[in-house]
Chain A
Amino acid sequence: MERFVFLTFDGLSRGAVYAAFALALVLIWRAARIVNFAQGAMAVAAAYVAYSVTAATGSYWLGFLAALAAGLLLGAVVDRAVMRFVDHTSPLNPVIVALGLVLLIQAVLGMIYGNEFRPAGTPFDRAALTVGGFAVVSPYDLFVFATVGLMMVALAWIFARTPVGLRMRAAAFAPEVSRLLGVNVGGMLALGWALASGVGALAAMLVIPTELGLHPNAMDLVFVSAFTAAVVGGLDSPPGAVVGGLVVGLVLSYVSGYAGSDLTPLAVLVLLLAVLLVRPGGLFAPVTARRV
């Protein structure tokens, strides 16, 4: 029982990060109809910025802010400098370009920092607190919950309550009409990319200390898990991404706790295939006729 409770909280903590990362994928998918396969590499780049800032100033929080800023900036740059010029008639093209970006970003990081694992610090203790004799949740987990929760509330507020959010939704929903009504559609697209990439950077900052450490390829498996989460929830649905993230986090936590951590990659693949084959639109997809 104690183990189950511990694994549940561990899974929720992991799941919160996957949810954030999946949310980043969903944001770009809704704005531009692109699954950003470079998300993981972009997030790692932001985490490396944080590493450098923290090493230079000695402050985790300055590094954290730097990662967010770098994430936002990188997202806008990738959209403005690369993705805008890709021919979108085929869904293969943006995917291939994003994969080129993965190679490029990881190679540049490897050239600057080297391809070894670097320890990533945490602002709070990762040892679990005991409540009533159960080892339940660590201060760091609480920090993760709080950060992800705050971020989601902020995103929901931006999209639902602010004029900018309204314009972003309009630009994604009906670009031509929005343009006629005076919305800067290109700018909104860049802003969407920046927001998504910032969210991805945040997720990377939260997840990397709990894994092996900072490495150019550190987010590969996280990306696959987050993609699974986004597919579980449906690529079109932000609440679905959150639920999907938590589901994936819990499944992975139970698998690694009860069956061995070696099996988690396989579990991700099986889960992804199962969802795609049984309910390709995700658990939260409305019933639609097949588009032809």
Chain B
Amino acid sequence: MSATRAAAPPERAATGAPADGRRGSTLLRHLAVAVAVALLVLAASYGLAPFRNFQLATVAAYLCATAGLTVLTGLNGQLSLGHGALMATGAYTVALCQGAFADHGLTGGWLLAVSLVAAILVTVAVGAVVGAAAARLRGPYLAGVTLAVAVVVPALTVTFDGVFNGDQGLSVPVEPPPLALGAYFPYERWQLWIAAAGTLLALVLLANLVRSRYGRTFRAVRDDEVAARLAGIHVARTQVLAFVVSAAGAGLGGALLAVLAQSVSPGAFSLTLSLFLLMAVVIGGLGRLAGALWGAVLLVVLPDLTHSVTELFTVSPAVAQRLEGNLPLAIFGITLVVVMIAAPGGVQGLLSRLGRELLARWPGRRS
């Protein structure tokens, strides 16, 4: 029995060249998609209301984290319930860096980039430590350890409240948009630009990694550890690498969230966030980066949707508050259970199946 196996059905392209027969440079293709998406986001940032801009930026931030988790859980078969904690690591690093820059009177747009890179580096270091432990653990044990990480890390902010300021959290001073963009440039648009730029960069790198030799070794380890070892793959090293890559995504996502909210507090990075991330990648479709997008969109849209639904009913404010806080959780929970039982491939799995069936009916196409 192989000890670890991903929830998603094994992909055909587990080893060897991509089986779907795409030609051309992978990097160029991904870059072209990224440029197209960037133009789309740019257009959207002018066409949408400021609040929608902010929501889109939040989607981008979550997307970093869900894409990272997809690489880990979907491609490498390691379950992590601790990604909320890794996001917290990134968020607090950004808060501390930006705070330190502000204290020393340093200003300039490039400082934010420095903070973001610092956040990624710190999260990578933490991820390497957790990943080194995780590489020796399987199945429920791994889930238990990462669950402990998710519960413990937010509590640490209270333990060391001299640095992290306990339950209050820290504020993240962020510079206003550069004056070159005009005096009345909406702040939310600037936030969207920052978040989208960071996320697109991360996604291009991740997409290339998934298609590369490393991506293939990730999948090989997921599908059969023994076979992978026989094929000369260093299993433990591969698992740590997957964890580190995934942690980098989570760190950047957390850092971007902190920049968007301009504050961090332990309440925002509770166990629930980790479960949300897991739910997002499962519903989106394990093992597919595109699935991470569906998950991230759902994370932002569903609470908003339930807010509008509860507004339809006239209930007392106390009841409304209870419903609003908990209805999204309940829906996420039910969806997680139902998707896991009925459609383990998630949204993206359903879509690709639909697409394949349509293509199969297309006359004159061999498939």
Interface flags for A143-155 (1: CB within 8 Å of B; 0: not) read 0000000000000
Shortest B44–chain A CB gap in Å is: 31
With beta carbons under 8 angstroms apart, the residue of A224, A235, A268, A277 that contacts B136 is A277
Partner of A276, one of B145, B282, B326: B145
Q: B7 near A96 (CB under 8 angstroms)?
A: yes
Tell me which of B89-97, B155-163, B211-219 binds A: B155-163
Contact flags A240-269 to B (C-beta < 8 A → 1, else 0): 000000000000000000001011011011
B79 touches A95 (CB 8 A): yes
Question: Which segment, of B18-26, B244-252, B294-302, B336-344, faces chain A?
Answer: B336-344
Contact (Cβ within 8 A) A85 B341: yes
Q: Is the CB of B148 within 8 A of A268?
A: yes
CB atoms of B322 and A111 under 8 A apart: yes
> When the two chains form their complex, are residues B337 and A82 in contact, meaning their CB atoms are under 8 A apart?
yes
Task: Answer whether A111 and B330 are a contact pair too, CB < 8 Å, given A91-B139, A97-B336.
Answer: yes
Q: What 1/0 flags go to B121-141 for Cβ under 8 Å of A?
A: 000000000000100111111
The answer to whether A104 touches B325, judged by C-beta atoms less than 8 angstroms apart, is no
Instruction: Please state if B148 and A104 are interface contacts (CB–CB under 8 Å).
Output: no
**Interface stretch (choices B33-41, B55-63, B190-198, B270-278):** B270-278
Q: Which residue of A lies closest to B341 (CB)?
A: A85
Considering the chains assembled together, what is the distance between the CA atoms of A115 and B73 in angstroms? 31
Count of chain B residues near A, Cβ 8 A: 57
- Number of A interface residues in the complex (CB < 8 A): 53
CA of A85 to CA of B340, assembled, Å = 10
In Å, the complex CA distance between A269 and B141 comes to 13
Shortest B342–chain A CB gap in Å is: 9
Query: How long is the Cα–Cα vector from A156 to B139 in the complex, in angstroms?
Result: 28
How far, in Å, is B14 (CB) from chain A's closest CB? Answer: 15
Q: Give Cα A87 to B6, complex, Å.
A: 12
**A97 and B145 contact, CB distance less than 8 A:** no
Secondary structure class of chain B's binding surface, majority of residues: helix
**If the complex has contacts A228-B148, A268-B148, A277-B136, are A96 and B5 also in contact, measured as CB distance less than 8 A?**
no
Type the 1/0 row for A76-97, where 1 means its CB is closer than 8 Å to any CB of B: 0000001001110111110111
The answer on a CB contact under 8 Å between B341 and A86 is yes
**Cβ-neighbour of A272 out of B2, B148, B275, B340 (below 8 A):** B148
Question: CB-defined interface of B62-81 with A at 8 Å, one 1/0 digit per residue?
Answer: 00000000000100010101
| B79, B151, B272: the one within 8 Å of A224 (CB) | B151
* Least CB separation from B140: chain A residue: A35
Complex contacts, B141 vs chain A, CB 8 Å: 231, 276, 280
A114: interface (CB < 8 Å): yes
Contact in complex: A100, B136 (CB < 8 Å): no
Residues of B near A90 (CB, < 8 A) are 5-7
In Å, the complex CA distance between A235 and B143 comes to 14
> Would you mind naming 15 contact pairs between A and B with Cβ atoms under 8 Å apart?
A87-B344, A96-B340, A101-B333, A103-B336, A111-B322, A111-B326, A224-B151, A235-B140, A262-B158, A265-B155, A269-B148, A272-B144, A272-B145, A276-B145, A292-B226
20 extra interface residue pairs, beta carbon distance < 8 Å, beyond A35-B143, A103-B329: A35-B140, A91-B5, A95-B140, A95-B143, A97-B341, A100-B335, A103-B272, A103-B332, A103-B333, A104-B330, A107-B329, A107-B330, A107-B333, A111-B322, A111-B326, A223-B147, A227-B147, A260-B159, A266-B155, A292-B226
